[in-house]
Structure 1
Amino acid sequence: MKSLLLVFLAGFICSCSQKENAPIQPNIVLINIDDMGWKDVGFMGSEYYETPNLDALAQQGMVFTNGYASAANCAPSRACLMTGQWTTRHGIYTVASSERGNPKHRKLIPTKNTTTLANEHTVFPQILQQNGYTTCHAGKWHLSDNPLDFGFDKNIGGGHNGHPSSYYPPYKNVKIETGKSEHLTDLVMEQTVAFVDSVSGPFFLYYSPYAVHTPIQPITALLGKYENKSATHGQYNPAYATMVENLDRNIGLLLSKLKEKDHFKHTLIVFTSDNGGLYGITQQKPLRAGKGSYYEGGIREPFFFIWKDRIQPNTKNDVPITNLDLFPTLLEAAGIDYQEQSLDGTNVLPILYGSEGQLERELYWHFPIYLQAYDVDNNENRDPLFRTRPGSVIRDGDWKLHYYFEDQGMELYNLKEDIGEQRNLVLEYPEKAEELLEQLKLWWESTDAPIPSTLNPDYEE
């Protein structure tokens, strides 16, 4: 009897010890800003926009200088982020129709666009929810009518709409409960803070405000400060600057609440944007072009991770990463083994922990459709009529190749030497261009990428 009691006590002590030593699932906060460019924040070098909360937060973790969105505009980037898969897997290439711009300027019939994420695709919030996480979506969703159908327990203002009709009431196309705040960015954060205040156990917060997408509607109290500031590196839009600062102020409120509830030290925080800043409103010098373009200004983003006592603070990393990497990385951080769906991103926790230095892989973008210019008189696109004509892009190391389906044109850049993509090296390095083109062709085949080839009868040369 005595020996049985000892065995029982030993087992009980062992069980308690295992529970005490078991890894605690972190809270996860993913901040995905709308249309914020690579250099629209202080920690990436802006001297015009003021983002003190984000600048201080970035210093507490690892900033990636080569962070990318997987697409150059909203809906496809968000579909890639949520599914961990390239656009060729889910078929969302743009917002609304793929037949953008004047028909007489489109040489090819573009690939038909998908506007709603199919239920057959698993998104990572569903997996977190199935593994004990309370999940909240706050702000812009854009992939279906209701994010509650895709693994979220709570929805704050998310629907199929890509931007608000107005940031001031009535918001019209944004369905959200009223509160003390009137400005939409403030109201979304008011309810987000209430969620953090009430939740217990591990939680996932997808904070995806509509800001700083159009319409550009200023915070009146802040306008005078920016009207009196000098333009720097092409950045001078006082109204937009007030939206950036107000967004930063709201993120500060979220951070304060996380600390008040003693969540901050147990929370992995990721910050990025869904695509580049809208050229004509903001610029990302020395990067070329902006939202909708597959030059660096359209796809390179501010990107950082912080996780107290896990990620070394005050670090910068030039390894190219993409928002496709968030699906496997966040699940790994949560201790969830997931192998049911083929993922195109990579778990970057070893990079974040400092145990690995590089990722041996290529990055791909595929855009078999048209997207008209935002401003035909002020842009840095390949031609003034379109931000993007049908094509694909590959980045391999420092080399980046643009390939266009209309004319089989190619542009080759070495980003280490020419981050602004000003000097096309195709004629100087034809073998490198052909090597990258062959890699693109293999990728098209492996992903069953649609290649537009049918001539448009309405086209006029």
Structure 2
Amino acid sequence: MKKYKILAVALAVLFMYSCGTSTKKTRIESPNIIFILTDDQGWTHTSHRADPNIPESKSDFYETPNIDRLAKTGILFSQGYAPNPICAPSRNSLMFGQNAARHIYNKDSVWYRSTQDWLTIPKAIKNANPNYRTAHFGKWHIAMLPERAGFDISDGMTSNAGGEIYGDGFLKAREYTKATKEYLVQNQIENPTKMLEAGKPSAHWDDQNPKDIFGITQRATDFMKESIKEGMPFYVQLSHYAAHLSLVSKKETYDYFKNKENGERHTNPEFAAMLKDMDTGIGMILDFVKEQGIEDNTYIFLMGDNGGRRRLNQIAVIDENKQLKEARYSLQHDRNLPLRDGKHSFYEGGLRVPFIAKGPNLKSNQVCEVPVTGLDFLPTFAQLAGSDLNFPDEIDGGSLIPLLLDNNQDRVERNSEYLIFHQASHRKPRSAIRKGDFKLVKYWGKETKYENTPKVELFNIREDLSETNNILNKYPEIATELENELKRFLANVNAETGVRDIKGPQDRLMKEEGLKE
């Protein structure tokens, strides 16, 4: 951990004398930290360019004016990565600052029983400064009780169902599968793009508090008001259920997009409406911070939990009586272009996500091309709170403070120079590892979705963002280095590389605790 101690001294100097044209010359003591985590929002699912040099990285249909505002007044990370291409492992990894291979995909299948003493984001913040108040609102989906993670206030052990609210209860889209099929056949609805049939339709219904967007926002602002009144610094995490399926939105927002001309790459009004409603909630947080006069002492971070879904399949519109109103086929097959694939995939479409930071001493309207990951948030937030970065060796992230304060920085100090992504156990064994511009993708077993598996692929991300050209034979030495490092890491952390018939850890934990969602 010597490098962390050296780095802490250097960063303290950076805090004392910030770079650029900022007029702030003193360290921000005990700043407030707001972390907004969106769900299934792809890298290209904003109305600003995720990479200013790539026109296609901006949606031609979706509208996110408040996320755009956040990017314009802060730092946009064009190569921001979720820790994993699916929500539960990504959220566990975020909370622990650890690669998913160390916990949810470990050979120790009951690891969650020993997390009481693990470091988490709120614990790291409170270790740095016990005066911090901490809260989590929205989707949890982590195999640890929020209070044991160190949160003073939370919505509890919530998961996807928390965003399926319909009136006073929950609505399950799978219950409309049969009715959707019958509607499409009886009404001879065309399937112009030969969209494959899904296990359940992408259901849409109207709600004035879609996905609890405004409930989450209100609880967060109430918490922040209390903290401000008590003169206490705070950390608050808003984990939105949006833009995860189902496609819930306000009626007026849906009507707006239904009457809007489709884009060439993005067309779906149901998803666009839900995304816009979530963006409105984010705008309420930005406005709150300004109205409360705490902009000079508050950092705001935003990230997607994993890449966006590649397709939405059949769309089922449900009325106020919970009856199927209409159905149709989605026209979109590749919603994340120019990135390849989407959620669940270890190609860029599954891993690269919106990633933005804003706060005091940070230059506005800046773009950082250094690859960063959600694993970096634990050390970053802890250092903002005053930590000396003396963390356990298993913390895989590094502090982003050097990048935030100095755009001449070209790397993040972590315990490894490689970015590693992995899944196995109750999911198909897949991995990816990146160093510099090169990325290796490995399939450990046979898969029907991909040709000639198991296999290993190598890509140059800078030259081939869409990962269409496998250059394994051209650079065998680089491929060997990356695969060997991947295997070494997985062996050292005791990661599972096979499959087993078990449920996800949160389900097992809740059963053991006698809890219901």
Kept in 2: contact 1:265–1:307 (CA 8 A): yes
Matched with 2:104 is 91
Write the distance in 2 (CA, Å) between the matches of 1:447 and 1:120.
Answer: 18
Write the distance in 1 (CA, Å) between the matches of 2:246 and 2:95.
Answer: 25
AA partner of residue 41 (structure 1): T
Write the distance in 2 (CA, Å) between the matches of 1:114 and 1:280.
Answer: 34
Write the distance in 1 (CA, Å) between the matches of 2:435 and 2:492.
Answer: 17
CA-to-aligned-CA distance 1:306-362 (integer Å, 9 cap, x gap): 112x11111101110000011111111111224252210111211111152234721
Deviation at 1:92, TM superposition (A): 5.0
User: In 2 relative to 1, CA 453–335 (structure 1 residues): closer, same or farther, beyond 3 Å?
Assistant: closer
Matched with 1:391 is 430
**Length-normalised TM-score, structure 2:** 0.71
Write the distance in 2 (CA, Å) between the matches of 1:297 and 1:161.
Answer: 23
Write the distance in 1 (CA, Å) between the matches of 2:218 and 2:500.
Answer: 50
Write the distance in 2 (CA, Å) between the matches of 1:115 and 1:192.
Answer: 27
- Which of 228, 233, 236 lines up with 2:259 in the alignment? 228
Secondary structure at 1:244's aligned position in 2? helix
Secondary structure at 1:119's aligned position in 2? helix
Kept in 2: contact 1:164–1:215 (CA 8 A): no
> Does 2:192 align with 1:193?
no
Deviation at 1:63, TM superposition (A): 0.6
- Which of 205, 212, 215 lines up with 2:236 in the alignment? 205
Deviation at 1:453, TM superposition (A): 8.1
Deviation at 1:22, TM superposition (A): 7.2
Write the distance in 1 (CA, Å) between the matches of 2:237 and 2:370.
Answer: 24
Secondary structure at 1:259's aligned position in 2? helix
Decide which moves more: 279-288 or 66-75: 279-288
Deviation at 1:88, TM superposition (A): 1.8
Matched with 1:244 is 275
> Structure 2, unaligned stretches of length 5 or more?
1-25, 51-57, 172-207, 313-331, 446-452, 502-517
User: In 2 relative to 1, CA 357–338 (structure 1 residues): closer, same or farther, beyond 3 Å?
Assistant: closer
Matched with 1:161 is 159
Aligned residues: 394
Deviation at 1:231, TM superposition (A): 3.4
Decide which moves more: 413-422 or 359-368: 359-368
Matched with 1:404 is 443
Write the distance in 1 (CA, Å) between the matches of 2:42 and 2:251.
Answer: 23
Kept in 1: contact 2:83–2:90 (CA 8 A): yes
User: In 2 relative to 1, CA 27–411 (structure 1 residues): closer, same or farther, beyond 3 Å?
Assistant: same
Matched with 2:374 is 323
> Does 2:362 align with 1:311?
yes
Matched with 2:287 is 256
Matched with 2:66 is 53
- 1:46-195 equivalent positions in 2, closer than 5 A: 46-92=59-105, 118-130=115-127, 131=129, 132-144=131-143, 146-155=145-154, 157-164=155-162, 166-172=164-170, 182-183=209-210, 184-195=212-223
**Length-normalised TM-score, structure 1:** 0.79
User: In 2 relative to 1, CA 222–315 (structure 1 residues): closer, same or farther, beyond 3 Å?
Assistant: same
CA-to-aligned-CA distance 1:348-396 (integer Å, 9 cap, x gap): 211111152234721001112465xxxxxxxxxxxxxxxxx31221011
Decide which moves more: 292-301 or 359-368: 359-368
Identity over aligned residues, as a percent? Answer: 33
> Does 2:369 align with 1:334?
no
Matched with 1:36 is 41
CA-to-aligned-CA distance 1:18-58 (integer Å, 9 cap, x gap): xxx77511100011111111111112212211111111111
Write the distance in 1 (CA, Å) between the matches of 2:476 and 2:375.
Answer: 30
Deviation at 1:159, TM superposition (A): 1.6
Kept in 2: contact 1:163–1:214 (CA 8 A): no
> Structure 1, unaligned stretches of length 5 or more?
1-20, 94-109, 174-180, 372-388, 456-461
Deviation at 1:168, TM superposition (A): 3.2
Kept in 2: contact 1:79–1:92 (CA 8 A): no
Kept in 2: contact 1:394–1:402 (CA 8 A): yes
CA-to-aligned-CA distance 1:112-159 (integer Å, 9 cap, x gap): 58778832322121232352101111111111474122111111x342
Matched with 1:300 is 352
Kept in 1: contact 2:101–2:423 (CA 8 A): no
- Which of 450, 454, 465 lines up with 1:419 in the alignment? 465
State the superposition RMSD in angstroms: 2.6
Kept in 1: contact 2:33–2:299 (CA 8 A): yes
Write the distance in 1 (CA, Å) between the matches of 2:311 and 2:114.
Answer: 30
Write the distance in 2 (CA, Å) between the matches of 1:444 and 1:146.
Answer: 27
Write the distance in 1 (CA, Å) between the matches of 2:158 and 2:500.
Answer: 31
